[in-house]
Amino acid sequence: MTAKQSVVDAIGNTPLIRLRHASEATGCEIYGKAEFMNPGQSVKDRAARQMILEAEKRGDLKPGGLIVEGTAGNTGIGLALVGKARGYRVLIVIPETQSQEKKDMLRLSGATLIEVPAKPFKDPNNYQKVALRLAESLRKTEPNGVLFADQWNNLDNRNAHFQTTGPEIWDATDGRVDGFICSVGTGGTLAGTSTYLRKQNPSVTIGCADPEGAAMFSLFTTGEAKASPGNSITEGIGLGRSTPIVGDIIVDKSYIVPDTEALPVVFDLIQHEGLVLGGSSGINVAGAIRLAKDLGPGHTIVTILCDLGTRYQSKLFNPEFLRSKDLPVPEWLESQPDIVV
Ligand code: PMP
């Protein structure tokens, strides 16, 4: 019987999809891992499941317990869905700047949401620090205990990708993968997947695609985490410091990918591939194209299609929002009249 026992078992085993336009443009074979096909529609379902199941095994989560996390949204959606399936309540602290669609989905999934003003990590009121303080204070009153998921420091996040994403990519390409590249939110995807692929074949080239304003390009090229100039409208990526997860990743090729390069890729994926994806997928595919150009024709390169574009309808696909950020608006997005009969 192949039936799944619960939504928890439906996470992972996503398809690897050839990106025709990017492949033809570079002479490489570029594939995207369809993480938007997870039940919570993002790559973060894997980390959420691993953090919950491992906490259960350690005895850190008891039936009816409360899970607390600071998240840009996708981890929270994964925690909420797996939490529902396994009988936990979920409390999420989220920067108010994140898309309305993600907040709506979090509430719909049963999470309690605390929206806080967006502050840099060094600020005591940064959402991750507010979440930690909340978890500590709730521990005093919660009868069934509190788990602070702590995705930036929790190695279960990275192990989720070592145990699932990496092996799935290896199997789907019959081991013929020359390069793997993605962006970093916590770095769980990049660290876990690259460690697995390198273990199979030490000569796989590992790349990082960093949005403007993040510090991974600097960390992986100089060893020091210094933010690059500029900023990005992408959500869920753009880490500004070294952490236990990203501190020891070995990256061969790092690129800073500006939004002006990533957004046309997001639009191109819709027009040429039939894939409606979020901004971090645009950064990733743009990074895969750069890596393909560096490696030269004939190589197989894999990246991550992190989540769905519908999660950002009010931003990425809203001409007014794009114009307010001085970003290009494709003609077809301006003129999509409904036909009423
Ligand atoms: N893309 C999106 C849309 C995300 O929400 C995240 C996680 N915040 C990532 C990419 C990056 O994943 P990771 O935390 O594994 O680096």
Per-domain residue ranges of the chain:
7-37+164-331, 43-148
Query: 43-148: same fold as 7-37+164-331?
Result: yes
Catalytic center residues: 44
Kindly give the distance from the C-alpha atom of residue 6 to the centroid of ligand 1, in angstroms, as a whole number. 24
Query: What would the CATH number be for the domain defined by 7-37+164-331?
Result: 3.40.50.1100
Instruction: Return the pLDDT at 302.
Output: 99
Ligand 1 lined by 49 (C-beta under 6 Å): no
Query: What would the CATH number be for the domain defined by 43-148?
Result: 3.40.50.1100
Number of neighbours of residue 324 by Cβ within 10 angstroms: 11
Please report how the helices 74-86 and 44-58 are oriented relative to each other, as an axis angle in degrees rounded to 10.
Answer: 50
Torsion of CA 87, 162, 301, 17, to 10 degrees: -30
Ligand 1 lined by 227 (C-beta under 6 Å): no
Report the residue among 186, 232, 246 best suited for mutation to probe ligand 1: largest number of ligand atoms under 8 A from its CB. Answer: 186
Instruction: Return the pLDDT at 285.
Output: 99
Instruction: Return the pLDDT at 339.
Output: 81
Instruction: Return the pLDDT at 176.
Output: 97
Contacting residues for 252 by C-beta, under 8 A, at least 6 apart: 205, 206, 207
CA atoms in the 13 A half-sphere facing the CB of 70? 24
Rg (CA), the chain: 19
Whether 185 and 237 have beta carbons less than 8 Å apart is answered as yes
pLDDT at 336 over 80: no
The long-range contacts involving 14-18, CB below 8 angstroms and separated by at least 24 positions, are: 14/38, 14/168, 15/172, 16/168, 16/169, 16/172, 16/173, 16/302, 17/273, 17/275, 17/305
Percentage of the chain lying above the pLDDT 70 cut:
100
pLDDT band per the 50, 70, 90 thresholds, residue 340: confident
pLDDT at 238 over 90: yes
Percentage of the chain lying above the pLDDT 90 cut:
97
pTM value is 0.97
pLDDT at 223 over 80: yes
pLDDT band per the 50, 70, 90 thresholds, residue 210: very high
Instruction: Return the pLDDT at 100.
Output: 95
pLDDT tens profile 13-46:
999 999 999 999 999 999 999 999 999 999 999 9
How far is it, in rounded angstroms, from Cα 272 to Cα 235? Answer: 23
